[in-house]
Amino acid sequence: AQKVTQAQTEISVVEKEDVTLDCVYETRDTTYYLFWYKQPPSGELVFLIRRNSFDEQNEISGRYSWNFQKSTSSFNFTITASQVVDSAVYFCALSATGNQFYFGTGTSLTVIP
Amino acid sequence: DAMVIQNPRYQVTQFGKPVTLSCSQTLNHNVMYWYQQKSSQAPKLLFHYYDKDFNNEADTPDNFQSRRPNTSFCFLDIRSPGLGDAAMYLCATSRQGGRYNEQFFGPGTRLTVL
């Protein structure tokens, strides 16, 4: 069975603070992909990153960074020096057997100016 | 800009009155998906087309149908909407159907059932 858990339902931070969004996944497949999407109030899910199961290197893109650890089945997302424009719902997703995306329930991030 | 377009953005219908939601894409992707997203929940896959091949999720109600007349367009038909069908409906595309392909989403259509 495939499953993604985002235990943090809502997070509020003050602007310029760092924030980490947690994602834990379950799969029996050895080949899988993990994704993060951002859903701003406008509703459109915006693709942020894809990571395959064989690449555990952390990745940094500007203020965004991702920490993939197979040992704990986690793929966490950190925003450094948060900004008001980062306010959105963030979804973690898993794609494995059957090619379907399994989304977590999302974390709603509010950045307070 | 290449994109996924959904019309209308907001749709109001009456209980039991058929409704059609539209999705078009300029990305020339092979795969198109329809998701249902209820408030504070994850998007739930209803069905997808790999080119012309239709793939229905096992738990998608019969009330939901889809058509893909060509590569660019895909429609979601709800034959007899119930109050429980009120949700955001998201259309997405991917270049191919493999697990590595990111999906590109449209802005969604918010459906209200009165």
Q: How far apart are CA B64 and CA A19, in angstroms?
A: 39
φ, ψ of residue A70 to 5 degrees: the values are: -65, -30
Is A105 within 8 Å of B98 when comparing Cβ atoms?
no
Is A44 within 8 Å of B107 when comparing Cβ atoms?
yes
pLDDT value, residue B89: 96
Mean pLDDT within B10-14: 95
For chain B, what is the mean pLDDT?
92
* Residue A90, token pair as written in the block: 């963030």
Q: How far apart are CA B52 and CA B41, in angstroms?
A: 29
The string of pLDDT tens digits covering residues A18-32 is 999 999 999 998 889
3-state SS class at B50: strand
The nearest alpha carbon in chain B to A42 belongs to: B107
Is B103 within 8 Å of A50 when comparing Cβ atoms?
no
Q: How far apart are CA B97 and CA B82, in angstroms?
A: 31
The string of pLDDT tens digits covering residues A60-80 is 889 999 999 999 999 999 999
Mean pLDDT within B17-36: 95
Is B41 within 8 Å of A47 when comparing Cβ atoms?
no
Which residue from B56, B73, B58, B60 is spatially nearest to B21, judged by alpha carbons? B73
Chain A: closest CA distance from residue B98 (Å): 6
A10-14 and A107-112 strand pairing: parallel
Chain B: closest CA distance from residue A80 (Å): 24
* Residue A100, token pair as written in the block: 């379907």
Residues of B in contact with A33 (CB under 8 A): 99-100
The nearest alpha carbon in chain B to A5 belongs to: B42
